[in-house]
Amino acid sequence: MQFKEIVGQQAVKQQLIRSAREGRVSHAQLFVGPAGNGALPLAIAYAQYLSCEQPGESDSCGVCATCKKYQKLAHPDLHFSYPFIAPKKETVALEYISQWREAILEQPYLTLEKWMDRLDAENKQPNINIAECHSIISKLSLKPFESGFKVLIMWLPEYLREVGNSLLKLIEEPSSSTLFLLVSEQPDLLLPTLRSRTQLVRTERLEEEEVAAYLLEAGLADQQGAAQAAKLCGGNLAAALELAAGETSNFGELFRDWMRICYQNDGVKMVEWTEQVGGKGSGSKSGIGRENQKNLLRYGLSVLRQSLLQQAQLPVQARGEELDFITRFAAQLNPEKIAAISGELEEAIYHIERNANPRILFLDVSLQIARYLKIGGAIVRPGRVVMT
Ligand SMILES: [Zn+2]
């Protein structure tokens, strides 16, 4: 993978290239950001740049023998580790390497959810187990086969949990020919001892224009579709890819149903709706999926913003059923209630990013919204009073 294949992230790319050219490469680095930022492909491109036989000023050459092997993710000194399902305690990540290569080569903006789909994980919880740690230690104790050093790219080290302790010594006293690149979406869940031994590489949220341009260039959407997906996904390319793939495009209908059910305060329908969106189990593969759950909530936020404009008698960007809904919604609520519901939706996005159980979360949010929608009902949120 080359830097030029990665959307945006100019400042981070420059910083990585500069440190490589100046020979200041830290042996343990922690790339941080959600899947949609591209932290994983960035780490792979960086490893390729460092290993390339003739690196240029802004990218690896792409044609040397090393680059060619890297492009297939099949260089003997490039190792990957990632969360997986271990049917036996001695199962290691290498058993899934062909699925892994296939997944990354197809779409490097990989989400855990997509990865679990590929492993047919259903509701099983993935992790990086102690057998995998031992395998890493023994792999890295060998001398490099071809390049000057060996690289281990570990995706989502937060799934190491406490077994991460077994890697501390290796990260603290590595051989000079070893490079660790950890790629984390939730660095606060990493063992502090592990985090403190790595140098942080923070990725940036993409601009909407960058996401739209990517979708358009890749032929995944037309101009209007690309602009809409980019806007709704708030700069998250992984979410935009799912939107562009049309995996769930009925956000309007889903959201309107939701608000109607909350308004009627119908418990049975509420449970049915939360199961449709959040799934029945607690695993990652359930309902419409996490990226689309976030997309639905973001869609809801945009409808609420439009409702505020409607109340202020400012121009509203909506048509047909959406406009009807916004008109009725705006007529029934005051700005404080709209703000309170928006707050619930924003908080829900935050919790989904932190792997909350979506079914429980959506049910909880539904009950809150039902209270706000009750005519004359007071708005009391735990910990803050929005309106009385
Ligand atoms: Zn090269």
Is 179 exposed, middle or buried (CB count within 10 Å of its CB: 0-12, 13-18, 19+)?
A: buried
Q: What is the Cα–Cα distance from 246 to 287, expressed in whole angstroms?
A: 15
Question: Which residue shows structure tokens 């502090």?
Answer: 192
Question: 103 C-alpha vs ligand 1 centroid, how far in Å?
Answer: 23
Question: 77 C-alpha vs ligand 1 centroid, how far in Å?
Answer: 14
Residues 8, 112 within the same domain: yes
Residues 135, 256 within the same domain: no
pTM recorded for the entire structure = 0.76
Q: Which amino acid is at 301?
A: L
Residues 280, 144 within the same domain: no
**What's the confidence (pLDDT) of residue 377?**
54
Residues 197, 210 within the same domain: no
Question: 104 C-alpha vs ligand 1 centroid, how far in Å?
Answer: 19
Question: 48 C-alpha vs ligand 1 centroid, how far in Å?
Answer: 7
Question: 65 C-alpha vs ligand 1 centroid, how far in Å?
Answer: 7
User: Is 241 in contact with 253 (CB distance < 8 Å)?
Assistant: no
Helical H segments across 218-334, by residue range:
223-233, 237-244, 251-264, 267-278, 290-311, 320-332
Question: 23 C-alpha vs ligand 1 centroid, how far in Å?
Answer: 17
All residue ranges of the chain with pLDDT < 70 are 122-123, 147, 246-249, 281-286, 375-388
**What's the confidence (pLDDT) of residue 352?**
87
Q: What is the Cα–Cα distance from 303 to 342, expressed in whole angstroms?
A: 10
pLDDT in tens, 150-204: 999 999 999 998 888 899 888 887 777 889 999 999 999 898 988 999 999 999 9
Question: Which residue shows structure tokens 């029945």?
Answer: 280
Of 247, 279, 313, which marks where a domain is finished? Answer: 247
Question: 11 C-alpha vs ligand 1 centroid, how far in Å?
Answer: 22
Residues 73, 155 within the same domain: yes
* Residues with CB in 5 Å of ion ligand 1: 52, 60-61, 64, 67
Q: Which amino acid is at 316?
A: V
Question: 49 C-alpha vs ligand 1 centroid, how far in Å?
Answer: 7
**What's the confidence (pLDDT) of residue 385?**
38
Question: 63 C-alpha vs ligand 1 centroid, how far in Å?
Answer: 5
Question: 125 C-alpha vs ligand 1 centroid, how far in Å?
Answer: 38
**What's the confidence (pLDDT) of residue 284?**
45
**What's the confidence (pLDDT) of residue 375?**
62
Question: 72 C-alpha vs ligand 1 centroid, how far in Å?
Answer: 13
Q: Assign residue 276 the CATH number of its domain.
A: 1.20.272
Of 247, 280, 303, which marks where a domain is finished? Answer: 247
Q: Assign residue 23 the CATH number of its domain.
A: 3.40.50.300
Q: What value does the CA radius of gyration of the chain take, rounded to a whole number of Å?
A: 23
Of 175, 204, 233, which marks where a domain is finished? Answer: 204
**What's the confidence (pLDDT) of residue 317?**
74
Question: 324 C-alpha vs ligand 1 centroid, how far in Å?
Answer: 57
Question: 383 C-alpha vs ligand 1 centroid, how far in Å?
Answer: 56
The total number of structural domains in the chain stands at 3
Question: 133 C-alpha vs ligand 1 centroid, how far in Å?
Answer: 30
What residue numbers bound the domain in which 302 lies?
250-387
